[in-house]
Amino acid sequence: MSKFLDEYALILSSCERPSRYIGDEFLSANKDFNTANVKVAFVFPDKYEIGISNFGHKILYHIVNSHPSYMADRAYAPDKDFLDLLKKYNKSLYGLESKVPLNSFDFLGFALQYEMSYTTILKMLEFSNVPVLSVERNDDDPIIFAGGPCAFNPAPMCDFIDLFLIGDGEEVVIEILDKYDKIKTKSRYEILEELSKIQGVYCPKFPKKTTKRIFIPDKKSHPVKSPISHFVSVHDRATVEIRRGCGRLCRFCQSAHTNLPVRERNSDDIISLTCDYVKNTGYDEYSLLSLSSNDHTNIEQIIERLNEHFKGTGVNVSLPSQRADKFSIKLAQLMQQEKKSTITIAPEAGSQRMRDVINKNLTQEQIINAVLSCVRSGWGKIKFYFIIGLPFEEDEDVLAIADLIKNINYNCKKEGLRLPSITCSISVFVPKPHTPFCWHGQNSIEEIERKKQLLLSRKPEIKNAKLNFHSPRVSQLEAFLTRGDKNVGKFIYELYKNGSYLDSWEENIDFELYKQVAQKLNIDYAQEATKTFDTSEDLPWDIIDCGLNKQWLINEYNLAKQAKNTIPCEVKCSNCGVCSNLKTHKIYDKTII
Ligand code: SF4
């Protein structure tokens, strides 16, 4: 540490927030770099306070550090001021715990969480003194792997990443390290060739159809402690994953489709993990994480038991996202035992027709009842998630968002209840690979702006609602990048070369630069984002097998056109292909508690 401080003192004393860069957080693993057989740095290409909260990162960090012979360190994307200082003093990025330069690690494992972080990855490689292009790396350079939602279409990042981890990372990361440990004296070419044979690993140098990995979440692989930031992070709480996958099959949702089948953790493990996590960290809040937390078979009993355990301690629960049809008065009451916060519900669309198009399997009555349950139980703040620009959307579907809120207000008044304060987070539809809507073109920016104004024209009628719109310009870039092919890599590279960095923060995006780079490379990203693909054409992500039958996805797309629902996989199997193709099955918590 003192050597590090000597070397980096000037940088740390001149940068804006040194606490981001010094490590030594409470509960850091701090394993010895020199004695570990294999050294990995998990790199999150976004700011420290975002990355340190990322649950996937915490799991992999925990798994590697639990191995007696391996060590995992962490790195996050520095702010621009810190990068400038690194450049000025000719220093490189380093592992936060070991303080060892990132290019001395055996592996750098990047989180591919969102498309707008792609150029940040390239800049971080440059500042780690690792060649940005994989073809330029030699035997001494670390192997660069990446996993997360964006790995399901590896094509745009193929020129920069050596190995993509497809699907659940728990087992595959240790398999990679085990194999590497045995063959690390071989050449880079030979090592990559060997590692590419592991199931769930896609190596662009040795391209082959790659099937995702599926892991049955167990107790051992779940962390019960994780490094705690010196200052605030986006989620300062103990996070326990209660369920992986979601069988609701909303047609726009990539996470639901790529994480099938549903696998529930058993109640006893959830309770014990939560108690241990809170005890170890001292957090006063725990989050029961899932794509749809109140879908867990025993959610009420679990919260009941945890409430009993934490009674009088001030520790309270948060459920990140909830189904309105599963929201009950009992659940609302259970969740307000210690402290009331905001209830978040995701109707996604305002009209019934649109909710049928997206396969939300949710009625207006269910949404209103869920809100009434909350308000009756004393919740004053509701957050709604909506999407506009969805496939087959008409103007009346957009206006129905305002109608839904008016209806909620009418029902509250009828019961003599106070109107809740409602915040609507309204995003723009982005067609995602491996979903039934992957073929559908996005609305143009002009069309989204028109729909936004249409909805805003109804704002005076819903004074208790705040409408927060996501940027259509950013959503357009996301749509272009997420469905991109190999050529998109040139676009990403050129952006990086011209200074694009931390573009996951809209204020950092230089839209003019994007336009100039697109012109130079003869790319029309607006056209690509709005393009509707033919269902018969080959797609860049066809090389990745999630288990879903393509014909099933096409059928779902056709059912959407007719606004027809598919029964959730929780209720009845719709033969999407995952279970038969990948020889797996859904798992529900059968624990009687
Ligand atoms: S095959 Fe059936 S049970 Fe399995 S994930 Fe698909 S819909 Fe669900």
Please state the domain extents for the chain: 2-211, 238-487+523-579
Pocket test for ligand 1, best of 576, 582, 587 (most atoms within 8 A of CB): 576
Give the residue, out of 257, 572, 586, 588, with the most ligand 1 atoms within 8 A of its beta carbon, to mutate for a pocket test: 586
pLDDT by residue (tens digit) across 66-82? 999 999 999 999 999 99
- Ligand 1 geometric centre to CA of 176 (Å): 29
Side-chain-side CA neighbours of 255 within 13 Å: the count stands at 10
Pocket of ligand 1 (CB under 6 A): 247, 260-261, 569, 573-576, 578-579, 586
Output the residue whose Cα is nearest ligand 1's atom 4: 579
The protein residue whose alpha carbon is closest to atom 3 in ligand 1 is 573
Residue 146: per-residue pLDDT: 98
Q: pLDDT tens for residues 326-359?
A: 767 677 777 765 556 678 888 999 999 999 999 9
**How many whole angstroms from 584 Cα to the centroid of ligand 1?**
9
* pLDDT at residue 321, as a whole number: 65
Q: Euclidean distance between the first and final Cα of the chain, in Å?
A: 49
| pTM for this predicted structure | 0.95
Distance between CA atoms of 37 and 372, rounded to whole angstroms?
A: 57
Q: Which ligand 1 atom is nearest residue 245's CA? A: 5
The reported pLDDT for the residue numbered 6 is 87
pLDDT mean by block of 10 residues, the chain; 593 residues = 85 93 94 98 96 94 98 97 96 97 98 98 98 98 98 98 97 98 98 98 98 95 93 80 94 97 96 97 92 88 93 86 71 66 87 97 93 86 95 98 97 94 97 98 98 97 97 98 98 98 96 98 98 97 98 98 94 96 94 61
Distance 592 CA to ligand 1 centre (A): 24
The atom number, within ligand 1, closest to the CA of 576 reads 6
Q: How far is the CA of 261 from the centre of ligand 1 (A)?
A: 6
CA of 535 to the centre of ligand 1 (A): 22
* pLDDT score, position 398: 98
Q: Please tell me whether residue 427 adopts helix, strand or coil conformation.
A: strand
Cα(347) to centroid(ligand 1), Å? 23
Please report the beta strands in 331-484, taking only residues with DSSP state E, as ranges in sequence order: 343-348, 381-388, 421-428, 465-469
Ligand 1 centroid, distance to 571 Cα (angstroms): 10
pLDDT value of position 336: 65
Mutate to test the pocket of ligand 1, among 255, 573, 581, 585 (most ligand atoms within 8 A of CB): 573
**Which of 579, 581, 583 has the most ligand 1 atoms within 8 A of CB, as the residue to mutate?**
579
| Nearest residue to 48 via CA among 91, 96, 115, 5 | 96
The reply to whether 2-211 and 238-487+523-579 are identical in fold is no
How many angstroms separate the CA atoms of 281 and 383, rounded? 28
What does the alpha-carbon distance between residue 93 and residue 103 come to, in Å, rounded to a whole number?
8
Distance 293 CA to ligand 1 centre (A): 19
Q: Which of 246, 255, 567, 569 maximizes ligand 1 atoms within 8 Å of its Cβ, making it the mutation to test the pocket?
A: 569
Assign 110 to helix, strand or coil: strand
**For ligand 1, what atom is nearest to the CA of residue 548?**
6
CATH tag, 238-487+523-579: 3.80.30.20
Please, what is the Cα angle at 557 between 551 and 559, to 5 degrees? 105
Nearest CA to ligand 1 atom 2: 573
Q: How far is the CA of 312 from the centre of ligand 1 (A)?
A: 42
What's the 292 CA to ligand 1 centre distance in angstroms? 17
Q: Which CATH number fits domain 2-211: 2.60.40.10, 3.40.390.10, 3.40.50.280, 2.60.120.260?
A: 3.40.50.280
Evaluated on CA atoms 263, 213, 123, 106, the torsion sign reads positive
Residue whose CA is closest, atom 6 of ligand 1? 576
Q: Nearest C-alpha to atom 5 of ligand 1 is from which residue?
A: 261
* Cα 543 to middle of ligand 1, angstroms: 21
Q: At residue 243, what are phi and psi to the nearest 5 degrees?
A: -165, 135
pLDDT digits (tens, 9 = 90+) for 146-204: 999 999 999 999 999 999 999 999 999 999 999 999 999 999 999 999 999 999 999 99
Question: Cα dist. 58→51, 63, 72, 227, 228 in Å?
Answer: 9, 9, 11, 9, 11
